[in-house]
Chain A
Amino acid sequence: MARRPGAARIRGKLDCVARPGADDVSHLPFPMRDAATATLTLVYLARLREAFGTASERVLPPEGVTTVAALRAWLAARGGNWATELAPGRAVRIAVNHDLALPDTPIGPGDEVALFPPVTGG
């Protein structure tokens, strides 16, 4: 699969700021530590945005979360509305860098992953 252009650009930016000591963010309060190391941008739209109470967030998923299906399962494990809305069988569409994705579509650093309900335009 051809590499998505957005991913390379953002990864390049991360490389620029990488320097000795830059990885150590343990002195930062948790929300800032999260932002400093985040590598994935998640976007929630329509009903999912309302259910999750946020339009977007940046996350650093654990090792092994390298596909759309794994990301969905990881987010569902947060419980509450996350478990309800992302339960297996619920119709959720997921796009990676603005392209509709399949469960086995790979995700990586710098990607923008959007989760939304089936579309209802027109």
Chain B
Amino acid sequence: MFEPKWKTTLKALLYLSPALIIIATFVIYPMFRSVWISFFKDYNIFKHTGTGFGLDNYKEVLTDGRFILALKNTSIYTIVVVPISMALALVTAVLLNNKMKGMKFFETLYFLPYITNLIAIGLAFQFIFNSTYGVLNKVLGVFGIDTIMWLNDPKYSLPALIIFGIWSGLAFKIVVFLAGIQGINKQYYQAARIDGTSRWRTFTKITMPLLSPMIFYIGIISFIGALKTYVQVVGLYGNNPGPADTAMTIVYYVYDKFYGANEPPIAAAASVILFLIILIFTFIQLKISKKRVQY
């Protein structure tokens, strides 16, 4: 029934080759190349020649105030956005699962941001955040809160980015959580009901543990996604990282160094640092999950 091994392997490779070629060209090769570039003081990306091999770039990046700011902003963004958006998504998914009225309408509504381009959403948010005409200030005004210069006040640029980040990531998380909840056997809930389990206990003792593999998966995905935040900044601020760079993120720093400052080796070094940060945290998360994910 089985053909000789080399033949089947070759066949598999052939089928995989389109994907492999694309991944190799656009992911694997650039990855190694940028690590290589990051060690040169000067590097010509067209001729592939460089001078001054060493760790100088890393020293420069790590002592650059703008990179430290980017690191700080990205950390705050990640720490705030990931848990809040996950909690909101989970609650929304549970509510949607309870088959409330107007379900179909909501189904369309919550899925919209997922299929809409982030830049377009960013433009919409520019209107929402607009200090004079924006909806957000109008709503806050009802509660007696003074006009906030969301996009122009350096104090509020990161909060604005965070609000946008939470919102833009919700749809995907809700979809995954909802699918997860609907995959839980209904009989667990019937059994819980007969045993007089309160709604809260049903959620914490049954839904959450049974959803834990999915919560963890979403956790890692959104954690990595948050560390790589870039499009949100562009969507909200166009071609500057907020007033006085206050919405600078690591990936924006990388982009800015590459195109803006035309310093590919510095950009490469910064991206390698980001890669290491993500690697370390993902590793830690996987370690934790072995202990915490319930089954």
A binds B: no
Which A residues are within 8 Å of any B CB, using their own CB?
none
Residues of B within 8 A of A (CB): none
